[in-house]
Structure 1
């Protein structure tokens, strides 16, 4: 039986993942940097299989260049989720290309410095991603509220994966100095596969923005009275128009419906409820779901779609977060109280 290196198996699995993502996010709304990240992960897995499975040493000259491209792609994908589909300017492309170009120069001049460069790059981009996500899930203004929390966690996972990769590269660098690479080979193979896999899964989990962003200037310092007015307007939208039923509702769309800057809405809800906007909107959905479960015989799935959820896993998770019960347990309890 021919030997098939594990990286080739990983590459095949990532190719299947890419196909699923392309089918899910069809159309012009795809997040191309994150798609490119998955494609690059497939390429790096193939290189890893050729290098460590068949000992083709020329692959070691290509792999560092691909590794240098991973953090900028991850960062660009997160930026698109946070700020919309605005294109990077030429100088921004040039700025993010510097690490890969520097790696190419080091390959020609001094390979010893490549590990140090990659460690610094991975740490720098990880911190940049964490900086973008300081507002929490509300930073994802273009992500539908149902998927904002999973996307936020996937992005944090991406940032910490970059940090873990930097830690692995640091270990390999020190191992080459202290033991002349006794443990470098297995650590490199395992850490690379781990990084590529989790980055690809995280990229697939974040989805893609559904519409262009509307740029709104940050408002001045918000006071208590303004918070109260904002909350009154949002509560009225929820009660009168039930805008939470919109499955594609996100922070920008809510801001346009209310005629209030997105940042002002986020600040007001956070101060008034201690929750982010996605949690607040999902709680409005769960409140109506509870009412429908208690007062009608409609199926849980039908109610889930009616109140604005698209997936049963998200619905069940949010329902349990709010009520500490499953939908069926809630219905059973409501029936027993009615009797």
Structure 2
């Protein structure tokens, strides 16, 4: 069967590596031993590097090398710690330390704080498609493995750090990719809290987040935008700017947009489980995220930059309909989903 798929994707290397990427995640989450999980993570790493490396682009080559080094360090630590855990199962104190170290290796894999320093640097050299994969699919394996064996006190500290660093890290960014990275780090805090409550709740949050981030990546890829000042300079259609506004606000979790819906459910669960302080921090950091999203969109709508207004971005009607359709889902999805759950 494996050889059959190799023959199918032989003419398209990228499709072949994407298939291996998907397959490796399934290996990790369905393995019945820690060693099997580690093998899945290694296959995932080796399949993603050919996707991001590009010999014609120095930034992509640098990003692939940095990604390989950081993920290799995390994998070596993970392998060493699972072997240590097997030999020292009876000692409770050492087991507690090992659980924190295994969690740290998995957090490094997914680009969580305080191991997030590689994440913004690497994402700067990637295309929007690879950014989307790194911010969504590459988090699935480490998150599932983390749900098997976690230290709750350690993870609560990590959640708080994720939301704070994700919110404050995006303040002085001029790069849209780095902005999306810090948004991903902030949402990772919400995802970690959801995985403590229920795996189904985490999956629900991940699906919503993946949908919203896919719209943003699709828009920026289509408009060929990588920096915030391009939103001011380019001669964009007002409808595109409005759809950007809707999707930014939805990603920030502002009601009545659909991005608020998973956060609303998360807030209810956290309050019911008496995590009042955690809920307060999450809401405050979401407000900071919304502040700089609104600042970007307000500037792009209000500035009248005349230098490059002769450069008009052409978008065909089908793509334009797609953008508006996704924006309408984001706008009315919250209202319809609320009625559905009632």
Q: Do the structures match in fold with TM over 0.5?
A: no
Q: Which has the larger radius of gyration?
A: 1
Structure ranking higher on relative contact order (CA contacts 8 Å, 6+ apart): 1
